[in-house]
Amino acid sequence: MISLDGLAQEIVIPKDTVYVMYVPNDGSVSEYRGKKFRNNYGLNFNLYEGEGLIFPDQGYSDTLDLRYLKDYDFTKMKDLEGLVKTWQNKTKPLLIKKYGIPYPNTTNKNNMFVTYLIEEFNNCIIKYRVYWRNQEIQE
């Protein structure tokens, strides 16, 4: 008998790309929002909407001319829930094929999205490959 276990192609669940704009705190909101700080996990960004993102010390970033800012379609946090549902519906057949169930409890945004945070800095933009804080980081 021949085993076909090693011949099965691995099912890859695709991720969508999300761009988020970092806006520093201007004093109009809680001191914990719009804040950037470093800890032992890397560079942390607290967004105005309350979400937290982390740029690991070994992470990928790129510096671009400010004129490229218009090339990005930014996601607002209020629209994120809709993007999660869209991703779940889009990947449902693959999730069933891979796991046998639609994996309805998937709420880990790091499994759903490749997320970039854009920050304006000294007449340029910095593009960070970030991860959603307090959620398992997977590649």
Q: What are the tens digits of pLDDT across the range 89-128? A: 999 998 888 888 776 567 889 999 999 999 999 999 999 9
Q: What are the tens digits of pLDDT across the range 71-87? A: 999 999 899 999 999 99
Domain ranges of the chain: 10-132
Beta strand segments in the chain, E? 16-21, 35-39, 42-46, 52-56, 61-65, 113-121, 124-132
Q: Which two tokens stand for residue 79?
A: 């629209």
Q: Which two tokens stand for residue 16?
A: 């969508």
Q: Considering the entire predicted model, what is its pTM?
A: 0.86
Contacts of 54 (CB under 8 A, 6+ apart): 41, 42, 43, 44, 45, 130, 131, 132, 133
Question: What is the pLDDT, as a whole number, of residue 126?
Answer: 96
Backbone angles phi and psi of 135, in degrees to 5: -135, 150
Strand partners, 63: 126
